[in-house]
Amino acid sequence: MTGRYKSVVNKSAFYAAIAVAVLCAATGSALRRASAEDAVEALKQKGTITSGVANEAPWMVVGADGSLTGVGPDVDREALAATGISSFAAQVMDYGAMIPALQARRVDIISSGALFIKPARCEQVIYSEPVVCNSEGFMMKAALKGKIQSYKDVADANLRIGVCGGCSEQRFATEAGVAAQNMVIIPDGVSAVKMLQDGRIDLFGLPDGSLEALQGQNPDPQLAVVFPVKGTPIGCGGAAFNKEDVALRDLYNQGLAKIVANGRYAQIMAKYGLSSHVPLRQGQTTAALCSASQ
């Protein structure tokens, strides 16, 4: 009798504990939803979202009058507008300054045209889902075309290569054994072309779309563009956010999904001659890119 009584009490306590746990979980979930909704509403009320950008066509283009276009800003603006955020501003900065600016909250977002999604960066910021994907390429002296197809070729030939500081190209060169004294930091693509024409470097590395745009702006028969670079992966960039700004990142992802679904994303890519890049992002996820070995 006593044993049965204890059993009943124990069962009652067990079911009561389950009920409390379910109630707490539901309450916690409701609070999280309310918190996220409040954060989103605060973002919409804020008025202006400020983006960190560089000046590298076709990804980000800052006009002489201060106007901002390019694949990244256009996608960012449209994705945010699709969720109710219509005021968008930008600050031009070097690539190396972007993550520190985001962490210090001098900007709210780093443009999707700026930073590849890499594991080391995923420890410092949070990313949207992939926005633009591309392959790696070289712009070189035309005489080198056909001879240099990889970063190892660059190392073996003891060539001087331009790379942007902290970018994937610098890592590819380092891993392939390019000597430190043969790596020249380039501030932007336009400067790199001039350095190449002046003989200060033999070639430089950038994503394929950047090189195609530079070639279109500088139709120099003495220069050639080669891609993809052997031994380099497909890279994808996304909009980057402060690690605490999960609500803004989620809002951006909602807007991105909307403009992909309604065809506006494809129109933006076509506007910059990048229709062939649209399929590259299919199947790519930020989770996979953040955990990749490359």
**pLDDT tens track for 187-240:** 999 999 999 999 999 999 998 888 988 988 888 999 999 988 999 988 899 999
Give counts: helices (H), strands (E), the chain: 11, 14
Crossing angle of helices 264-271 and 246-261, in 10° steps, is 80
pLDDT band, very low/low/confident/very high, at 143 (cuts 50, 70, 90): very high
- Which of the two residues, 233 and 34, has the higher pLDDT score? 233
Q: Which two structure tokens, joined as six digits, stand for 22?
A: 């379910």
Q: Is the pLDDT of residue 243 over 50?
A: yes
pLDDT for 33 equals 43
- Any idea which of 41-50, 72-81, 142-151, 169-178 has the lowest mean pLDDT? 41-50
pLDDT band at 12 (very low <50, low <70, confident <90, very high): low
* 53-62, 118-127, 136-145: range with lowest mean pLDDT: 53-62
For residues 181 and 163, the answer to whether their CB atoms sit within 8 Å is no
- Which pLDDT does position 117 carry in this prediction? 95
Would the pLDDT of 175 be above 60?
Answer: yes
Per-residue pLDDT, 48: 83
pLDDT digits (tens, 9 = 90+) for 54-80: 998 889 999 888 889 999 999 999 999
Distance, CA of 265 to CA of 49 (rounded, Å): 20
Whole-Å CA distances, 83 to 55, 227, 235: 26, 37, 27
Mean pLDDT of the chain: 86
Output the pTM of the full model: 0.66
Instruction: Report the distance separating Cα 69 and Cα 182, nearest Å.
Output: 34
Burial of residue 77 (CB within 10 Å: 0-12, 13-18, 19+) is: buried
SS3 state at 68: strand
pLDDT of residue 43: 66
Q: What integer pLDDT is reported at residue 128 of this predicted model?
A: 98
First and final CA of the chain: distance in angstroms? 67
Q: Is the pLDDT of residue 262 over 90?
A: yes
Separation in Å, CA 4 to CA 10, 11, 82? 10, 10, 62
Note the pLDDT of residue 26. Answer: 41
The pLDDT of residue 14 is above 60: no
Q: Model confidence at 87, in pLDDT bands (50, 70, 90)?
A: confident
Over range 101-110, report the average pLDDT.
96
Q: Which residue has the tokens 């891609």?
A: 227
Q: What are the two backbone dihedrals, phi and then psi, of residue 50, each rounded to the nearest 5 degrees?
A: -100, 130
